[in-house]
Structure 1
Amino acid sequence: MPADGRLARGAATRRVVLRRAVDVASVDGLEGLSLGRLATELELSKSGVFALFGSKEELQLATIEAAFTIFESHVVTPSLDLPPGLPRLRAICENWLDYSENRVFPGGCFFFNVGAEFDARPGRVHDAVAAASGSFAAFIRETALEAVALGQVDADPEVLAFELHALGRAANADAVLNGGPAPYALARRAINARLAPKP
């Protein structure tokens, strides 16, 4: 097989492995990942999967990157179609709740779960999780700053962003633990009240 054919096949296999890896990690954590487990579940050779990643840590890092790409496509990217400020801020919150409620990842919000797993464990995996979560928090904060600067919301933008982030995380945690849509409904009511237009 020509080299470019092998590369394309390797890239396709890598995508399949990572799609399964993000689902597994959302439920069992990044420590629940193993090259052997993924190879067995996907009926691939363990040596072939190992060749794609080389180590468990590299698999974990690639899984975080893949999960963030999926997260962005559901939450961040669609909100960019809305005008800056309050419309975009509302869209971010709604997209985030939809992403969690619709179980894009079977374990709920991927980054909430792996953040709790690695929050007190220094290293490359911790840093990658923190960077991904931090970039989303920064996006909420920047959008809140725009809404306040445009005179659309009367609030301290740093506090507003923190509250919105906390409401999304709380809805996800309660719904995953207890089931049912009630936490999402409560979060939507709280967010709507918090984002009431400035009189």
Structure 2
Amino acid sequence: MTGPTTDGRVLKGNETRRLVLAHAMRIASVEGLAALSIGRLAGELELSKSGVFALFGSKEELQLATVRAAERVYHDHVIAPALDRPAGVERLLVLLEGWLEYSRTRVFAGGCFFYAVGAEFDAQPGRVRDALGEGSRTWRQLITDQLQAACAAGELPRDTDVEQLCFEVQAMLEFANAMSLLHDDEAPYQCARRAVRRLLRTE
């Protein structure tokens, strides 16, 4: 039987986990997942190292939990606002605009969390890379699905090379993110918006 004391410990543990992961996401988006450690997070948040260790158990589990937490943030900011729009160009434009705003407004201090940590782990086989790769495939498939729906609805030519167009659209977003961070300039986002709309023939 669960009593008040047990419930209180669970709630406190969940609250501590959220606090640690929020801080971990901020660090990782700027310094990378390799910069995370249980000792560092405990020290910076003034928590006990043993308590943080009990929540994650290892550095790899901490990294994986941070990736999953970032995926939830990404879903809320980029994906969820588009899901009530009709499939095709309309939903795709909301997705892409959501992505540009997510990067421009620095939901994560280092711009797109997944662009940053993906570059860190793309040549390092393991569970973290696998998790990042799965997330990347899911995002690419979501874009591809909208392009296919647009072709079926006559919003794009039926002979459109959907895989190529998806690649080009994603390249525009990621380049805008990289150039904005490097030059501390928002202009790349406007360039990306115009380029994407031309690719989708909405300008």
| TM-score bracket for the superposition, by shorter chain length | over 0.9
Contact 1:164 1:191 in 2 (8 A): yes
Instruction: Please name the residue that 2:134 is paired with.
Output: 131
SS in 2 for 1:189: helix
Instruction: Please name the residue that 2:198 is paired with.
Output: 193
Instruction: Please name the residue that 2:53 is paired with.
Output: 50
Instruction: Tell me the alpha carbon deviations over residues 93-143 of structure 1, each in whole angstroms, 9 at most, x when there is no partner.
Output: 100000000000000000001000000000011101111121111111111
Q: Which segment is superposed worse, 42-51 or 104-113? A: 42-51
- Name the Cα RMSD after superposition: 1.2
Instruction: Please name the residue that 2:145 is paired with.
Output: 142
Instruction: Please name the residue that 2:34 is paired with.
Output: 31
CA distance in 1, matches of 2:52, 2:38: 6
CA shift at 1:5, angstroms?
Answer: 1.3
CA distance in 1, matches of 2:55, 2:67: 16
The answer for unaligned runs of 5 or more in structure 1 is: none
Instruction: Please name the residue that 1:156 is paired with.
Output: 161
* 1:68-79 to 2 correspondences below 5 Å: 68-79=71-82
* 1:4-23 to 2 correspondences below 5 Å: 4-23=7-26
TM-score (norm 2): 0.94
CA shift at 1:195, angstroms?
Answer: 1.5
Q: Is 1:84 aligned to residue 90 of structure 2? A: no
Q: Which segment is superposed worse, 64-73 or 143-152? A: 143-152
CA distance in 1, matches of 2:94, 2:169: 12
Q: How high is the sequence identity, in percent, across the aligned residues? A: 53
Number of matched pairs: 198
CA distance in 2, matches of 1:197, 1:31: 41
CA shift at 1:197, angstroms?
Answer: 4.4
Q: Which amino acid aligns with 1:142?
A: D
Contact 2:78 2:99 in 1 (8 A): yes
CA distance in 1, matches of 2:84, 2:109: 27
CA distance in 2, matches of 1:19, 1:144: 34
Q: Which amino acid aligns with 2:166?
A: A
Instruction: Tell me the alpha carbon deviations over residues 21-55 of structure 1, each in whole angstroms, 9 at most, x when there is no partner.
Output: 01100000000101111111111111111110000
Q: Which runs of 4+ in 1 moved over 2 A?
A: none
TM-score (norm 1): 0.96
Q: Which segment is superposed worse, 129-138 or 152-161? A: 152-161
Instruction: Tell me the alpha carbon deviations over residues 137-181 of structure 1, each in whole angstroms, 9 at most, x when there is no partner.
Output: 111111111111111012322111111111111111111111111
CA distance in 1, matches of 2:197, 2:88: 15
